[in-house]
Structure 1
């Protein structure tokens, strides 16, 4: 797992950069952002397993896959969401702590001229 993707060969790189910016600025949670980054990476025809740049997002997704995402919460009962509130908050904090520095580094690399 040493391949780093070639930013010059990616389409819609602005979407990736915008999402990373939203994550590090707190507009998008790291859990929701990890899901979106995986979708973006796969939209480029790449495997998430082929790049150390994106492996952290797979780890976040794997560790939080039992939690409802924002769009899914409307289908959950209020009590179930209330019961998970602490776990969701704890997981969000963990994901941010786990990935923030790497996201900032990746963002710096992608926006470097």
Structure 2
């Protein structure tokens, strides 16, 4: 027997996930670059407008850093190539944290259930 959830429940779950991601970014458990990518991917499923001020920050971060290898994809890169990019990635992470921190705080206030 499969369990189905309503669209309203689905959106609520996605929004809660957005709050969790933002909380993890603030807490240093998730990089701002990777977190921005996750948030941008969830934006439409959560019914968030393209004009949302908080999400526009993460769209900018994702757009400006989409060429940087992050997460699992790094396993497919040569170590020498990654070494050459480490400074750029570190600088981008610092920049993303600077411009994204207050937007993360706002997303936590808006969507984090505090559970989990």
Higher relative contact order (Cα pairs below 8 Å, separated by 6+ residues): 2
The aligned residue for residue 41 of structure 2 is: 39
Structure 2: unaligned runs, 5 residues or longer: 1-9
What's the CA shift for 1:108?
2.0
Displacement after TM superposition at 1:105 (Å): 2.4
Contact 2:17 2:112 in 1 (8 A): no
- Does residue 1:17 correspond to 2:22, yes or no? no
Q: Rg larger in 1 or in 2?
A: 2
Give the gaps of 5 or more residues in structure 1. Answer: 1-8
Q: What is the Cα-based RMSD across aligned positions, in Å?
A: 2.1
Query: TM-score, normalized by length of structure 2?
Result: 0.79
Secondary structure of 1:94's counterpart equals helix
**TM-score, reference length from structure 1:** 0.81
Q: Per-residue CA shift, 1:28-50, capped at 9, x if unaligned?
A: 00110001001111223545x23
1:1-41 deviations in Å (ceiling 9; x for gaps): xxxxxxxx932122111111100000000110001001111
Residue equivalent to 1:101: 102
- Once superposed, which parts of structure 1, at least 4 consecutive aligned residues long, lie more than 6 Å away? none
| CA–CA separation in structure 2 for the residues paired with 1:79 and 1:32 | 21
